[in-house]
Amino acid sequence: MTNPHLGVDVLRLTEAVRLARSCPQSHGAFSVGAIVFDAAGVEMSRGYSRESDPVVHAEEGALAKLALDDERLRGATLYSSLEPCSIRASRPRSCTRIILDSGFSRVVFAWREPDTFVADCRGRHLLEERGVEVVEIPELAVAAMEPNTHLLRSGRDR
């Protein structure tokens, strides 16, 4: 299926990928950037891994800056440099669950989560099963991996 938003998606996702470079480095978690846009294309929030807490994920950090009942989240798009996590040890809800609970209609990401910390991430599949449009832009995956090269094992996780 052709993405009618491709040009805009690439620009916004590129910014999320750049945002991941702001993350304090960790040997136990990926560096990820996330940006939320409402249905009208207005940026609502942004966040990055470990921005406010050593275990905060980028998607979680961006959403923490918004009211839980913000109606603009219904129909919003989340741009994340990494596929949203589907399993999480550090919090009760995964980023996939937080996205579903918030009412996003679209998620755009660059890099599928490798099995470095969790085997078989199912974020994309769980979102799609619940009717969220998921767009992967693999052309930006290498840039999204850049702040995480210290975590990747011999290129296996690419």
Which residues does residue 82 pair with via DSSP β-bridges, in sequence order?
111
> Looking at 51, 59, 60, 113, which residue is catalytic?
59
Which residues does residue 36 pair with via DSSP β-bridges, in sequence order?
45, 78
Nearest to 47 by CA among 75, 25, 23: 23
In angstroms, the CA 56 to CA 51 distance is 7
DSSP symbols for 41-107? S-EEEEEETTSSSTT--HHHHHHHTS-TT-GGGTT-EEEEEEPPPS--SSSSS-HHHHHHHHT-SEE
| DSSP code of residue 131 | T
Question: Active-site residue 15, yes or no?
Answer: no
Residues that are catalytic: 59
